[in-house]
Structure 1
Amino acid sequence: MKNSFDTQHELTINGEQYNIHSLKGLGDKAKRLPFSLKVLLENLLRNEDGENIKEQDINALLNWDPKAKPSSEVAFTPARVVMQDFTGVPAIVDLAAMRDAMEKLGGDPAKINPLSPAELVIDHSVQVDGYGNDGAFDLNAKLEYDRNKERYEFLRWGQTAFDNLKVVPPATGIVHQVNLEYLARVIFNEDSNGKKFAYPDTLVGTDSHTTMINGLGVLGWGVGGIEAEAAMLGQPISLLIPQVVGMKLNGRLPEGTTATDLVLTVTEILRNHGVVGKFVEFYGDGLADLPLADRATIANMAPEYGATCGIFPIDDETINYLRLTNRDEDQLKLIEDYAKHQGLWRNDGDEARYTDTLELKLDDVVPSLAGPKRPQDRIALNKAGEEISQHLKGFQEERIAHRDKSDDEQSRIESEGPTTNPDEPVNEAQFMGAAKVNYKGQEFELNDGACVIAAITSCTNTSNPSVILAAGLVAKKAKQLGINVKPWVKTSLAPGSKVVTDYLEKAGLMDDLESLGFNLVGYGCTTCIGNSGPLADEISQAIQKHKLVVSSILSGNRNFEGRIHQDVKMNFLASPPLVVAYAIAGRTDIDVYNEPLAQDENGNDIYLKNIWPSVKEVSDLVKETVTKEMFATSYANVYEGDSRWQQIQIPDGKLYDWNDASTYIKKAPFFDGMTVEPPGIPTIERARCLAKLGDSVTTDHISPAGAIKADAPAGLYLQEHNVEKAQFNSYGSRRGNHEVMMRGTFANVRLKNLLAPGTEGGVTRTQPGNNLESIYDAAMAYQKNDTPLIILAGKEYGTGSSRDWAAKGSLLLGVKAVFAQSYERIHRSNLIGMGVLPLQFKEGESYESHGLTGQEEFDIQGLYDKTHEVTLIATNAEGKKTSVKADVRIDTPKEWDYYKHGGILQYVLRNMLN
């Protein structure tokens, strides 16, 4: 390695000599950099090799202009990679397939190995089948193992076959909480060739909420699985030196508010300001009183406010949290001394140079929730009843409009493709907004606005003891008053780690939560990622038959359309204590300040204020119950797993023995036909549009997620392979099978393809011919004719989770290019990583402004190496040509290398081969 800036230095800590790259000698330019860019600067200095990182790259960062548009590319080398199982399984599948490809091309397959620590936490596979009783956890765990046997066998093989790969077994916790409480080093302490080295802990993760670790001062963010795989294989992550927005926090949260209210407020402010592709850094005197758990909650939501990361500096609160979570005292001394030496320690009054600065007075935060379909759409709780009623009215008007269609129009839609419910004729009773239900011996009326799912789940909040214990106190007060949740509400508690249930039990609140139906259902991501499990048949049938507009409330970070449950149209994010309160109310269109949540057995009205705990109650309980010993016990044997995990048979060998009969694990096809020489820049001619989409199309809309419908292409495929409907499992659990995943791409039930107006779901019209087909069937027909495909889209294409299958599935369907008004950062990168070309309309232009219908034939002209602009020629059926200039969104030279090789994995494989 080179040392152009003479920063190699020895630092004595705990009597030990550590080799570091010191920032002290770099002067005021380095001193005034934001915290996050100091970490990035150290990363460049330490990895300067004259090829990936050159002296001019480091100078570009030292001379960072906070106001300038990002233009300088640097190579970030993360110290480690974290994965969850939904995204981790296909990553390991790809690595296994790369080993096969390496051997086939004459290389050594053992070279395909993580070169830096890779840690995978199995947390996304548990579903809420059982709930509301003491046996829910065991039932869900059993079903999880039954459904995922093939996946777990594969992961156990990977753990033994690959060096540097560790797997945290199921029923342990959520990856981001486990990362926060156990995996994070903050400062790496490494021995090499008899010397000790210290450097900042940095990472990328295969989940967009990897940013939660920013709360500890660890720089990291979510990437697609393909980028993570490359990082595991030693490839640096290319990025433009970003702009950094500083958000100054002052004051303290007022009585009655929670960390969730704070994060929803921050999300709204930053999303409105515009921070996509930027770093966000929090500073100010308000940090002195902001607990680490609250910081982590804010950092977690970086994808929701659009930033690459949302980072906090290292300070006394960081050390206090690390001590609480049982980190070694010598490690804490290393972290503090290193951070202070490098200028990474927060001191009162410190302010760096920022691109923009925003200020939030914590005293101004009010109780809030967000929805009904975007996390940034915050609603102040005192206005929630009114605003949610307005949203409900909008859905009801849609239903009325559907009812009022003429019989001819209704018949046309039903004959040409799916509608909201094509299974039965329209009749007036279906549109009344109410249904009589008999469930478990109780008869009640289920109405529009009913809350049918109430879930305390997701890493965002279950890592935060204050909001979890507040939920327990709400349950305790409700129990004392003799009130309960409504019978139609599916309740669940899915903590992010076992520590959560430990302190709930110590506080004596677990029984109170269970008395309201919030029984433990599993340790993992459940409702927040669509693993909410089925509603009771009686409830689901009433919703579908009467087209009821019902809602969910969850303490999560995602509430996109179609994500939580296919029967649920409105989804709201809220703090855990509010989740309990709304479950008691049984509806979301309620003014919780002025309307009673319920009546006690004597008919007395019970209001939110009657069951809401004070800030002092909560803080005192946190101090009394959350202890270092809990973390020591919970993580003592974190990699061992339960008896089910230990009994799984592990296949032998460095090459995986693929089972052709498996419907979970299939050899990835991305290396089929691969040659030693790269294919170069492709030609895209006579392409057709597979889908024409609007604004804010998320990776949830694109990538397969949630339940697999029996009549969907993926469901039909599974049935053809003798899989019963009850064993379908979710799309996420089958991410290791490309046959399932490509059939589910663009199949979200809420996807509106403007090529097929009047429909929802994975439907398109083929050209020429104008035939209505599923997107999968249409894509296969196009492939038979060697017809390349494009996607037309609006603004913010690919927002949401870092789902690599949104790009992988697009490629396998035959999509060669996407033409959008703007992109979310991760998805644009993922498209390039899979060899799909991202094009962008000029500012102020769109497919509408150019009159593109999507029925044209498309040629892309002027696509050459490192070109910034191409011309799209659209030819309609009459031969009229429309010429559109488009920006090529391949932003860095490294991304061009990936694209010329047909993808990032092919690039890595050829480099290793050579």
Structure 2
Amino acid sequence: MTTIGKDTLKTRRTLKVGDKEYDYFSLKAAADQIGDVSRLPFTLKVLLENLLRFEDGTSVTTADIQALADWQKKRRSDHEIAYRPARVLMQDFTGVPAVVDLAAMRAAMAEMGGDPEKINPLAQCDLVIDHSVMVDKFGTPQSFKQNVDLEMARNAERYEFLKWGQNSLDNFNAVPPGTGICHQVNLEYIAKAVWTSEEGGRTIAYPDTCVGTDSHTTMINGLAVLGWGVGGIEAEAAMLGQPVSMLIPEVVGFKLTGRLLEGITATDLVLTVVQMLREKGVVGKFVEFYGDGLDELTLADQATIANMGPEYGATCGFFPISQRTLDYMNFTGRDADTLALVEAYAKEQGLWRDAKSPEPVFTDTLELDISTVKPSLAGPKRPQDRVELAVAAEAFEDVLESFGKKGDDTDYKVDGEDYTLNHGDVCIAAITSCTNTSNPDVLVAAGLVAKKANKLGLKRKPWVKTSLAPGSQVVTDYLDKAGLTEHLNALGFNLVGYGCTTCIGNSGPLDPPISKAINENNMVCTSVLSGNRNFEGRVSQDIKANYLASPPLVVAYALAGSMKINVAKDPIAQTADGRDVYLKDLWPSNAEVKAEIEKALTREMFIERYANVFEGTPEWQAVPVTEGKTYVWNDKSTYIQHPPYFQGMSTDVAPTRNIIGARPLALLGDSITTDHISPAGAIKFDSPAGQYLQSKGVAKADFNSYGSRRGNHEVMMRGTFANIRLKNLMAPGTEGGWTTHQPSGDVMSIFDAAMKYQETGTPLVVVGGKEYGTGSSRDWAAKGTILLGVKAVLVESFERIHRSNLVGMGVLPLQFKEGDSRESLGLKGTEVFDITGIEGTIKPRQDVAVTIHYEDGTSKSITVMSRIDTDDEVSYYQHGGILHYVLRRLAAE
């Protein structure tokens, strides 16, 4: 990857660290020419260095550099910049389709007469296989091996394909399954805080930055690495040397003071931060943490807060380099040269935070005294819906009322069992996800709760499915050394795998009798998980209310067995002799947790575990490797298929056309998440995707999840807009992926309707409300949309990543102007839309005319805003998508 531009401002300098020399681009030298930048937010200093290094007079100009310095005048800017991250991080669910696209681009390049080997990541790309393990087996010593065996069998085709990528693509590494969660591997091993590359015989030093195909890439901001989630489409472009186009962001400063009180966890803190920032409104903004409270947080605490960036809606939640950063990097096994460079570089560039650092200026600020944080959960369906533990049981009554079940204390029989189920019963208790399993404090606390419970002879309630899915193998090492594994196992929290499980819908099936009782009686049962996502329909199709909590609280709720119990003050269990046990009897002191960590966690554990991180298990090593510059597609595969994006593509760019005669495919409300749009979780037997798999001879037991089949567009387009909780107002009285086809008036699946519209050449639109596309950076939310024939999405507001992905796939994002909405316009889904003003020249954020033809023969014209926000995005849209743009450019070289 090219790291040096014209350097018009002559800011290149040499930094000597010990006996090594590094070239770097000096912010101090730039300040002599563009003005003082010492009080720029740390995040913007990182962007400024990036512009200095890549300044070429075209994609980056001196005017761009000056605009960053001038940001301090108004503390906001509408100036567009081109930003190039140092590297790309992927997990396998989002990474597989990205590699599929690279393979398809290689095939298209060959068809266009070009060299397929031009298609390679130019920036380092690390893919961590962590999203494929499912909790099929739990609660036994054999659970881990059984789940791994099932994972390898289910995903053999995908893993063979990823091995082709590792073998054929340059700058591409694959971390094998069973190693850990991508964000924790990034935090503990890959990230360096200051990155280096070789060019022209010189070593260039610059801030470590990354984008990732998982929205929780933000976790790495806890280690002072500026990073955030992007769609797979945008990540592929970054891999191929294209800049990330962005407006210079607003930066909100979050001042932390005080320290956590006794018994309060980092999870309680982060749920409070999420709630505060969602109320503040930071969508599309950078958040930067400052204040003396940072000195009271561990780096793992910082990473926990940074991880939840998508939940509070920010692009990132950044913590600057400090002594904390160096100490953590040293403890996790980084070498002495790296540590010395990080300290010297950060101090020289004004990127080091300590008591002497000038306080940055921010667009806006808010403040939290950490000592005011109280024990909390978040639920039943959004991470920002924090509820204090002390009133969680009371608040759950309101949840039951929303489902029409308040006051219903009916006990429902479970076939073949000697217990009954009631509304509010906890059927899943999972220690999972990158948010908390990177934090030894909360994991050791969970182990100590289990230890005290085990010594009292307590057991989990028999209807609770328990699981432990750590973020890295180091977690197992320190839990083993502390003697806590045996106590977690005694309560059913046996190791089920290393990866993201319950948090992404890989919770696996409930026991059939429990599932049957829940569904036959329309029960409102719950899950408690130590994750970051609890959107409806995500964790399990059987569970309607999901709560985020700290790992020790997950253990407590497994013992209590119900959200109706006030675990803060009421007994959560009884001993064999009938003595009541309260949460305070089990909760460890801060001193106990600290003592166990100091005794059990060592630097050597990290060094040993990451010594051979890319080798994998014997099962991974046995996966066959396919050779060749281009991938040999297997028509019979139900996991990997050649996508149609580049079929018939030429080197010429067709002119953009107005969208005439479009029919609505879906009419949606507010807060439609990418989980509602993109296929996720289990594949239902009678769904269009299930029917497709049956037609290919796949048995129901082998359906696997949508995430595992992201490399097959035939499955994924059938699962787009098919979430079981989606409410399409065009099909009243239904829930799930249904619509009403027009003009026939027939109710059918969204996929079937889209295919009927394609037969008649009818373009489609989707109409929605506020915050359309919140949640994970799911590229299939955009890919599935375009494959269904949707040409435009018209909503009241977009979440950042999904809007960008729509443009990247050639879908036109349109935003209602003030006063207009689905309701004010009286839309029912029977209308026809003409979208004009996009033929020929397009400008960022231009006005677009929309004429709505109603069923009664009347028409109304409105003006909407195009959310193609930048000049680069204009080019992407005109080419039909970002990958088409890149492919044509590479073919022309």
Q: 2:138 aligns with which of 131, 138, 142?
A: 131
Q: Residue in 2 aligned with 1:356?
A: 364
Q: Deviations over 1:181-229 (max 9, x none)?
A: 0010211122323212111111100000000000000011000001000
Shift of 1:15: 2.0
Contact 1:454 1:580 in 2 (8 A): yes
Distance in 1 of aligned mates of 2:49 and 2:77: 19
Q: When the two structures are superposed, what TM-score results if normalisation uses the length of structure 1?
A: 0.95
Shift of 1:843: 2.4
Shift of 1:845: 2.5
Q: Deviations over 1:832-875 (max 9, x none)?
A: 00000000011243111122222100000222411611111110
Mean Cα deviation higher: 346-355 or 222-231:
346-355
Distance in 1 of aligned mates of 2:316 and 2:657: 34
Report runs of 4+ in structure 1 exceeding 6 Å deviation: none
Q: Does 1:205 align with 2:183?
A: no
Q: Residue in 2 aligned with 1:911?
A: 889
Q: Does 1:235 align with 2:239?
A: no
Shift of 1:438: 4.5
Contact 2:72 2:361 in 1 (8 A): no
Q: Residue in 2 aligned with 1:308?
A: 315
Q: Residue in 1 aligned with 2:150?
A: 143
Shift of 1:451: 0.3
SS of equivalent to 1:707: coil
Q: Deviations over 1:641-686 (max 9, x none)?
A: 1011101111111110000000000011110121111123232000
Alignment-mate amino acid for residue 74 of structure 1: I
Q: Does 1:396 align with 2:404?
A: yes
Distance in 1 of aligned mates of 2:36 and 2:737: 52
Mean Cα deviation higher: 902-911 or 387-396:
387-396
Q: Does 1:366 align with 2:374?
A: yes
Shift of 1:275: 0.3
Q: 2:107 aligns with which of 93, 100, 103?
A: 100
Distance in 1 of aligned mates of 2:319 and 2:232: 26
Contact 1:869 1:887 in 2 (8 A): yes
Distance in 1 of aligned mates of 2:74 and 2:458: 56
Alignment-mate amino acid for residue 760 of structure 1: E
Q: 1:704 aligns with which of 656, 672, 679?
A: 679
Alignment-mate amino acid for residue 877 of structure 1: E
Q: Residue in 2 aligned with 1:463?
A: 438
Contact 2:76 2:363 in 1 (8 A): no
Shift of 1:70: 3.6
Q: Does 1:375 align with 2:383?
A: yes
Q: Does 1:290 align with 2:265?
A: no
Contact 1:284 1:348 in 2 (8 A): no
Q: Deviations over 1:85-126 (max 9, x none)?
A: 000000000000000101111111110001110000000000
Structure 1, unaligned runs of 5 or more: 401-430
Q: Residue in 2 aligned with 1:608?
A: 583
Q: Does 1:276 align with 2:289?
A: no
Alignment-mate amino acid for residue 364 of structure 1: T
Structure 2, unaligned runs of 5 or more: none
Contact 1:438 1:444 in 2 (8 A): no
SS of equivalent to 2:126: strand
Contact 2:311 2:532 in 1 (8 A): yes
Q: Does 1:11 align with 2:18?
A: no
Distance in 1 of aligned mates of 2:96 and 2:820: 39
Distance in 2 of aligned mates of 1:66 and 1:799: 31
Distance in 2 of aligned mates of 1:886 and 1:498: 51
Q: Deviations over 1:507-549 (max 9, x none)?
A: 0000000000000000000000000000000100000111111
Q: Residue in 1 aligned with 2:412?
A: 435
Q: Residue in 1 aligned with 2:858?
A: 880
Distance in 2 of aligned mates of 1:36 and 1:624: 36
Are the structure 2 counterparts of residues 580 and 341 from structure 1 closer, same or farther at C-alpha, using a change threshold of 3 Å?
same
Distance in 2 of aligned mates of 1:845 and 1:602: 65
Q: Deviations over 1:226-260 (max 9, x none)?
A: 10001110001000000000001111001111000
Distance in 1 of aligned mates of 2:73 and 2:103: 43
Q: Residue in 2 aligned with 1:217?
A: 224
SS of equivalent to 2:342: helix
Q: Residue in 2 aligned with 1:412?
A: none
Q: Residue in 1 aligned with 2:847?
A: 869
Distance in 1 of aligned mates of 2:513 and 2:555: 23
Shift of 1:738: 0.1
Distance in 1 of aligned mates of 2:830 and 2:187: 49
Distance in 1 of aligned mates of 2:78 and 2:877: 19
Alignment-mate amino acid for residue 434 of structure 1: D
Q: Deviations over 1:438-466 (max 9, x none)?
A: 45xx4011000000000000000000000
Alignment-mate amino acid for residue 370 of structure 2: L
Contact 1:433 1:547 in 2 (8 A): no
Note the 1:288-687 alignment, pairs <5 A.
288-348=295-355, 350-397=358-405, 433-439=410-416, 442-687=417-662
SS of equivalent to 1:204: strand
Q: Residue in 1 aligned with 2:813?
A: 838
Q: Deviations over 1:22-70 (max 9, x none)?
A: 1112335311110000000000000111111111111111111464654
Distance in 1 of aligned mates of 2:388 and 2:112: 60
- The number of aligned residues is 881
Q: Does 1:895 align with 2:870?
A: no
Q: Residue in 1 aligned with 2:796?
A: 821
Q: Residue in 1 aligned with 2:826?
A: 851
Contact 1:434 1:546 in 2 (8 A): no
Distance in 1 of aligned mates of 2:506 and 2:45: 39
Q: Does 1:734 align with 2:709?
A: yes
Distance in 1 of aligned mates of 2:701 and 2:532: 28
Distance in 2 of aligned mates of 1:840 and 1:285: 41
Distance in 2 of aligned mates of 1:397 and 1:689: 35
Q: Deviations over 1:734-793 (max 9, x none)?
A: 000000000000000000000011111000001112110000000000000000000000
Q: 2:125 aligns with which of 108, 118, 121?
A: 118
Q: 2:185 aligns with which of 167, 178, 189?
A: 178
Q: Does 1:157 align with 2:191?
A: no
Q: 1:716 aligns with which of 668, 673, 691?
A: 691
Are the structure 2 counterparts of residues 505 and 449 from structure 1 closer, same or farther at C-alpha, using a change threshold of 3 Å?
same
Alignment-mate amino acid for residue 381 of structure 1: L
SS of equivalent to 2:781: helix
Contact 2:876 2:885 in 1 (8 A): yes
SS of equivalent to 1:62: helix
Q: Residue in 2 aligned with 1:419?
A: none
Shift of 1:397: 4.5
Distance in 2 of aligned mates of 1:323 and 1:300: 21
Alignment-mate amino acid for residue 808 of structure 1: K
Distance in 1 of aligned mates of 2:50 and 2:745: 54
SS of equivalent to 2:22: strand
Shift of 1:480: 1.1
Contact 2:76 2:248 in 1 (8 A): no
Distance in 2 of aligned mates of 1:910 and 1:581: 57
Alignment-mate amino acid for residue 300 of structure 2: A
Shift of 1:355: 0.2
Distance in 2 of aligned mates of 1:530 and 1:807: 20
Distance in 2 of aligned mates of 1:78 and 1:683: 35
Q: Does 1:250 align with 2:239?
A: no
Mean Cα deviation higher: 877-886 or 60-69:
60-69
Alignment-mate amino acid for residue 351 of structure 1: E
Distance in 1 of aligned mates of 2:519 and 2:743: 35
Distance in 1 of aligned mates of 2:369 and 2:734: 45
Distance in 2 of aligned mates of 1:859 and 1:449: 48
